[in-house]
Amino acid sequence: MTTRYDLAVIGAGPAGLAAATLAAKRGVSTVLLDEQPAPGGQIYRAITQTPVRNPSVLGSDYWHGADLVGPFRDSGADYLPGSTVWSVSRGLEIGLSREGAARLLPAKHIILATGALERPFAIPGWTLPGVMGAGAAQILLKTSGLVASGNVVLAGTGPLLWLLAWQYLRAGARIDTILDTTPRENWRQAMPHMTEFLRSGYIGKGLKLLLEVRRKVKVIGNVSALRAEGDGRVQSVVHRQGDGAEARLPADTLLLHHGVVPNINLANAIGCAQNWDEGQRCWVPTVDDWGATTVEGVSIAGDGAGIAGALAAEHRGRLAALDALHRLGRIDRAERDRDAAPHREALDRAQRGRVFLDTLYKPARDFRVPQDDTIVCRCEEVTAGQVREAVKLGCSGPNQTKSFLRCGMGPCQGRLCGPTVTEVIADARGVSPAEVGYYRLRPPVKPITLAELASLPKSEDEINAVLHH
Amino acid sequence: MSAHNRPDYDIAVVGGGLVGSATAWGLARLGQKVAILDEGDIAVRPSRGNFALVWVQGKGLGMPEYAGWTKGSSDRWTGFAGMLRDQTGIDVHYERPGGFMPLLSEAEVEARAAQLSRLHNQPSMVRYDYEMLDRAAVAKEMPYIGKDVVGASYCALDGHCNSLRLLRALHAGLGLHGAAYLPNHRVERIEPRDGGFRLITSAGELGAGKVVLAAGHDSARLAPMVGLSAPVRPERGHIIVTEKTAPFLKFPVGYIRQTDEGGVMIGDSFEDVGFDTTVRNGVTSTIAERAIRIFPLLGKLNVVRTWAALRVMSPDGFPIYEQSTSAPGAFVATCHSGVTLAANHALALAPHIAAGRLPEEFTVFSARRFDVPKAA
Amino acid sequence: MFQRLPNASGERVSFTIDGRPAEALSGDSVAAALFANGVQTCRSTPVSGAPRAPYCMMGVCFDCLVIIDDVGNQQGCQVRVRPGMRVETQNGKREIAR
Ligand SMILES: Cc1cc2nc3c(=O)[nH]c(=O)nc-3n(C[C@H](O)[C@H](O)[C@H](O)COP(=O)(O)OP(=O)(O)OC[C@H]3O[C@@H](n4cnc5c(N)ncnc54)[C@H](O)[C@@H]3O)c2cc1C
Ligand code: FES
C-alpha cells in the first residue's frame, strides 16, 4: 500500500514549486508531480538544462526561475518528474502514469498548479504545418535552442507575442513582420486602467521591450483578418488592416498568439465548479482567496485558477500551501493569516496593472468567433459553420454539439476548441458564454493505455459491478 | 374543440433523447404537428452515452413478447436507416454483421447455453437462429482473440450503428418534417385540460392535443400527472473509448465494438447508485482487463475518454408502453435499449400514438404488471 | 523550418527518422528533434488525411503524434529523444498491432 502524502502538488511551474517548497519546509510530507522531465513549468521551461547559455537571450525574468528551483531542491519535498496525472478521485487518489505504468497515489490535500495554455486562435489554415503557437516556438527556443528560419511572421496580440519577438531578436533570429491584431478600441477601453498600470512593475520593462522590437521589425497594426494559405504547409499569410484590402506575405512559419487561458481540464473532470470570466473571456475554476475549489481537499494555485502571470503564480502557490497546512491541522487560522500577510501584499503588487493588460490585449470578436469555413476542432476537423448548423438544430451548448459533431471528442479533449465553441454558440444564440456553458469532462484527462488502466487496483464491489450482476 | 382554443401542437413529446426523438420523428413523418420538449446542454441523457448496439440475442427471458418486439425492430432497422439517409443525407452507419458474446470459461459457456435455451423454449417465443460456437469457430472470424476465450454465442441478427449520428439524423429529420425542437424547456407540470394537455415548462406554457412521456428518468415523476406510472430507476454503466485505430473488428462482440470512426468502445457495468455519474477507476479498470483478455491487442491502445451513463431501468428491465385511461391522449414510452428499438419507436409505435390508441398486443408492456400486490 | 542557434550546447544523440539516420541534442523532445532535422510534417490526420505538424509543444494539441519504437500515436513533444530511438511519421489512424 502506498503511503498517503499530506500534500500532493500537480505542476512544477512557479505556483507548484513555491507551494511545494513552503509546505515541505514546514514539515508536511509533500510530493510534486509534473509531466515534464524537469522543473520550471511553461515560463521557466528547461531552466535547469536549457542549451541557450547566453543569459541575455531569454532575459532576467526567465532566469528568476532558478531562484525557485534551488530552494525546492533543498525543501525535502519528493519530486516525480515525467508523471502525467490523468485523474483525481473524490477520495483524493491521484491517477498518474509514469514511464508507461499507471498507479494511484493517495493524498490528504491536493494543489493543482497546472497553469495555462495558449488561447486557441482559430483562423483559416491554422492547421497547416508551419503554423504554430508563439508559446510553442518559445518552448523550442528554451528547451532546444531552435528558432524559426526563412520567412517568419508573428501574428496576434498579448505580452507573450512581444516577448517572443524580443527573445528571437536577442538570439539573432530574423522576423519578417508582426501582424498586430490588437483592436484600436481596446486602447480607449484600457485607458482608465492606465494609472494603476503605471504603478506596476511591467511598465518600464514592457515599454523597453516593445520599443526594441518595433525598432527592428516591421509591425502592421490594426489587423482585422488573417488567413494562412499553402499547399501541404503554410506558404503565405493573407491579412487585412482595418477595412483595407487584403494583402499577402510570404511565410514559412506563422506564429500565432492571443493570450493564455487557464488549463481547466483536470479541475473540470474532478468536478470543481467553474465560472466564465468576462474580463479575460475564458472559463476559470471557482476558487476562494486561498485557491480552494468547491471540491473538499482540492485547491488551485497559479494561472490554472485565472491568469495573473508568473510572479503572481508564485505567491498564489504559497497562499494555497498555507491554507493546506491549516486544513491539514498543522497551523491554526490565525497563524495562516499572519504568515500569509507578506505573500498577499506581494500578490497585490504582482497583480497591479493586470486589468490594463487584460483589457488592452483582449482578442477581437472576429478572432474569437471565427467564420463558417474555419476549423475550430482540430482533432475531429469540425468547422465553425458546422457548430452553427448544430445550434440551428437545437443544440444549446457544447455538450450537445459534441455529441452531434464529435467536436471536442478527440484526444485533446476540447482544450483546443472549447473556448471557441463556447463563443461561437453564444454568438449564434445571442446569449452570454456563461449561459452556454462548457464541456463536462471525465477522466482520463490525458490518455493512458488500456493496459495501464487494466493494471489498477480494484475493489470487490467494483469487480462485481462488471462481472457479476 | 373550438377554433380559438386549438392547442399549439397535435402532440407534445417530452424528452429529446433517443426514445423521444425517434417517436417524434415517426409522428412528424405522419404529418402530425409535433413539439419536442427537452432539457438543456447538461442533462441525465443516456442517449449521448450509450453503446450503439442494435442487439437481439439473449433478450426476452421472462417476457417473450419483448424478444419479438426487439427482433421486429432489428428487422426494420435497415429500412429505417435508409429513410433517415434519404431524408437528411446522414448515414447512421447501421450494419448487421452478426454479433458474438464472448465466453471466458467452460462455466460461462454452460451458463450461456442454458440461458439461451430457456429463452428460446418459452411459449410464444419468436423464432430466430443462434449458435453456440467453440473457440476454433470464433478464431476463424477473429484470429486475434485471446487465449482465455473458450467460445461465444452468435446471432446473425445482431448489429450496431453510430448512435450519435442517429440522434443527429433524427433531429435533422425532425426539423425537415417541421417539428419544433424546444431545448431548455424542462417540463415541470402537465395538466389534462379541455380534452388536451397544458405543459408548464421552465420556459413557458404550451398546449397539445396529445402528450408522449419519453423523458427517461423523469418520466417517473411526470407519469402520475396524467394517470400513468413509470417506476424506472437509474442503473449506472461505464464505457471506455480508445483512440481511432485502423479497422480490425467488424463484429460487435458483446461489450466491445469498433466504431465506423475507428475508436473502440468498451463496456459495461451495472451499479445501482442513484443519479451519480462519477467514473470509478476500479470499474473502468475491470472493464479494461476483461477486454484485454478477449483481445490482447487492445492493451496498447490509448484510452481517450471514459464516462458513466444511467440506464433507464424498469423493475423487470423490460420496456413500458402505455396509454392513460384517466387522461386519454397521454402515453408513456420508456426502455433502456433506445438504439435497438429506435426503428420500432419511429415506425411501429408512432403510428398507433398518432391514431390515438395502442392496440391489444401492447398490454404486456403496461406498467400495471408491477402492481401485483406483495404476497403476505 | 527551424534551425539550431549556433552556440546551443548539449550532447549529440543519434536516432532514426523513417529509417534515416538523424541527430539531435540530448534535451530535445522528439518533436523538436524532427524540426531540427528539417521534418516539417509528422503525420496525417485520421479524419481527412490532412498533413499536420506539432502546434503547441506542450502536450495539449496532439498534432505531434508519431510512431516511436513501433508504438503508434505517441506525443512527440512529450517524449525525449533517446539514442537509437526509431521515430516514424504516421499516416492516418494508428494500426492496432503497433
Ligand atoms: C507556452 C507558454 C509560454 C509562456 N511563456 C511565458 C514567458 O516567457 N513569460 C511569461 O511571463 N509568461 C509566459 N507564459 C505565461 C506563464 O506560463 C504563466 O504566467 C506561468 O507559467 C504560470 O505559472 P503556473 O505555475 O501557474 O503554471 P505553469 O508554469 O504553466 O506550470 C504548470 C505545470 O503543470 C504541468 N502539468 C499540467 N497538467 C499536468 C498533468 N495533468 N499532470 C502532470 N503535470 C501537469 C505542466 O507540465 C507544467 O509544468 C507562457 C505561457 C505558455 C502557455
Ligand atoms: S505539439 Fe501539441 S501535443 Fe505535442
- Side-chain-facing half-sphere of B7: CA atoms under 13 Å: 23
Segment B16-71, tens digit of pLDDT = 999 999 999 999 999 999 999 999 887 656 556 688 999 999 999 999 999 999 99
CATH number at residue C21: 3.10.20.440
- C7 within a domain of the structure (yes/no): no
Name chain C's partners: 3 or more CB pairs within 8 A. A, B
Residue ranges of domains in chain B: 3-50+164-232+316-371, 233-313
What is the pLDDT at residue B47? Answer: 59
Cβ-based contacts of B294 with chain C (< 8 Å): none
- Side-chain-facing half-sphere of A16: CA atoms under 13 Å: 32
Which residue of chain C is at minimal alpha-carbon distance from A131?
C55
Return d(Cα A95, Cα C58) in angstroms, integer: 20
The answer to ipTM > 0.90 is: yes
Cβ-based contacts of C71 with chain B (< 8 Å): 300
CATH class, domain B3-50+164-232+316-371, is alpha beta
Q: Which residues pair with B34 in a beta bridge?
A: B11
* CB-count burial class (<10 Å; 0-12, 13-18, 19+) for A67: middle
Which three cell numbers, joined as nine digits, stand for B72?
A: 421486429
Name chain A's partners: 3 or more CB pairs within 8 A. B, C
Which three cell numbers, joined as nine digits, stand for A322?
A: 498555507
Residues 6+ apart with CB under 8 A from B317: B336
With an 8 Å Cβ cutoff, are A454 and B288 in contact? yes
What is the pLDDT at residue C97? Answer: 79
Which three cell numbers, joined as nine digits, stand for B306?
A: 471514459
Peptide bond preceding A444: is omega within 30 degrees of 0, i.e. cis?
yes
The residue range of the domain holding C25 is 12-90
Cβ-based contacts of A429 with chain B (< 8 Å): none
Name which of B202, B284, B298 to mutate to probe chain A: the one with the most chain A Cβ atoms within 10 A of its Cβ: B284
Q: Which of C63, C74, C87, C89 to mutate to test the pocket of ligand 2 (most atoms within 8 A of CB)?
A: C63
Q: Which of A17-31, A343-357, B39-53 has the lowest mean pLDDT?
A: B39-53
pTM of the complete model: 0.93
Rg (C-alpha) for chain C, rounded Å, is 13
Q: If pLDDT is split at 50, 70 and 90, which confidence band does A1 have?
A: very low
As a whole number, mean pLDDT of residues A73-77 equals 97
Residues 6+ apart with CB under 8 A from B340: B53, B54, B55, B56, B70, B73, B74
With an 8 Å Cβ cutoff, are A400 and B290 in contact? no
Instruction: Kindly list the strands in the beta sheet with B131-134, ordered across the sheet, starting from the edge strand earlier in the chain.
Output: B99-103, B151-155, B131-134
Domain count, chain C: 1
With an 8 Å Cβ cutoff, are B240 and A453 in contact? yes
With an 8 Å Cβ cutoff, are B245 and C96 in contact? yes
Expressed in angstroms and rounded, the spacing between residue C21 Cα and the centre of ligand 1 is: 34
CA distances from A254 to A48, A121, A251, C2 (A): 29, 12, 6, 12
**CA nearest A399: which of B101, B356, B17, B42?**
B42
Whether B319 contacts B345, CB under 8 Å = no
Cα-Cα end-to-end distance for chain C: 29
Taking the CA of residue C96 and the nearest CA in chain B, the distance in Å comes to 6
Return d(Cα A34, Cα A10) in angstroms, integer: 6
Pairing of strands C65-68, C86-88: antiparallel
CA distances from B119 to B54, B101, B116, B155, B345 (A): 19, 16, 5, 14, 24
Q: Which of A233, A379, A416 sits opposite C40 (nearest CB)?
A: A233
pLDDT at B251 over 70: yes
What is the pLDDT at residue B287? Answer: 97
The CATH number of B233-313 is 3.30.9.10
What residue type is assigned to position A323 of the chain? D
Return d(Cα B164, Cα B261) in angstroms, integer: 12
As a whole number, mean pLDDT of residues A274-300 equals 97
A129: region left, alpha or beta (phi > 0 left; psi from -120 to 50 alpha): beta
Segment B162-218, tens digit of pLDDT = 998 999 999 999 999 999 999 999 999 999 998 899 999 999 999 999 999 999 999
The count of other CB atoms within 10 Å of the CB of residue B129 is: 10
Segment A83-123, tens digit of pLDDT = 999 999 989 999 999 999 999 999 999 999 999 999 999 99
* CB-count burial class (<10 Å; 0-12, 13-18, 19+) for A210: middle
Where helices occur in C5-94 by DSSP H, the ranges are: 30-36
DSSP code of residue A416: T
What residue type is assigned to position A272 of the chain? C
Return d(Cα A127, Cα A129) in angstroms, integer: 6
Which three cell numbers, joined as nine digits, stand for A7?
A: 500534500
With an 8 Å Cβ cutoff, are A449 and B301 in contact? yes
Q: How many residues does chain A have?
A: 469
- C5 within a domain of the structure (yes/no): no
Which three cell numbers, joined as nine digits, stand for C83?
A: 539514442
- C3 within a domain of the structure (yes/no): no
Residue C62 belongs to what H/E stretch?
A: none
What residue type is assigned to position B204 of the chain? G
Whether A157 contacts A165, CB under 8 Å = no
Residue nearest to atom 40 of ligand 1 (CA): A85
What percentage of chain A carries pLDDT values higher than 90?
91
Residue B316 belongs to what H/E stretch?
A: none
Give me the tens of pLDDT residue by residue for chain C, a chain 98 residues long: 999 999 888 899 999 999 999 999 999 999 999 999 999 999 999 999 999 999 999 999 999 999 999 999 999 999 999 999 999 999 999 988 77
Q: Which of B244, B297, B300 sits opposite C93 (nearest CB)?
A: B244
Handedness of CA B37, B24, B50, C62 (dihedral sign): negative
Return d(Cα B100, Cα B108) in angstroms, integer: 14
Instruction: Kindly list the strands in the beta sheet with B233-242, ordered across the sheet, starting from the edge strand earlier in the chain.
Output: A448-449, B302-313, B233-242, B264-267, B256-258
Return d(Cα B234, Cα B219) in angstroms, integer: 12
With an 8 Å Cβ cutoff, are B286 and A437 in contact? no
Cα-Cα end-to-end distance for chain B: 49
pLDDT at A218 over 90: yes
- C6 within a domain of the structure (yes/no): no
**CA nearest A193: which of A356, A358, A361, A359?**
A356
Return d(Cα A95, Cα A88) in angstroms, integer: 6
Expressed in angstroms and rounded, the spacing between residue A307 Cα and the centre of ligand 2 is: 22
As a whole number, mean pLDDT of residues A128-137 equals 98
Whether B306 contacts B279, CB under 8 Å = yes
Four-point Cα dihedral B303, B304, B306, B312, nearest 10: -120
Which three cell numbers, joined as nine digits, stand for A274?
A: 467553474
Return d(Cα A287, Cα A282) in angstroms, integer: 15
Cα-Cα end-to-end distance for chain A: 29
What is the pLDDT at residue A53? Answer: 85
Q: CB contact, 8 Å: C78 with chain B?
A: no
Q: Which residues pair with B153 in a beta bridge?
A: B101, B132
The chain-wide mean pLDDT, for chain B, equals 94
Q: If pLDDT is split at 50, 70 and 90, which confidence band does B249 have?
A: very high
As a whole number, mean pLDDT of residues B157-161 equals 97
The answer to whether the CB of A304 is under 6 A from ligand 1 is: yes
- C23 within a domain of the structure (yes/no): yes
* CB-count burial class (<10 Å; 0-12, 13-18, 19+) for A400: buried
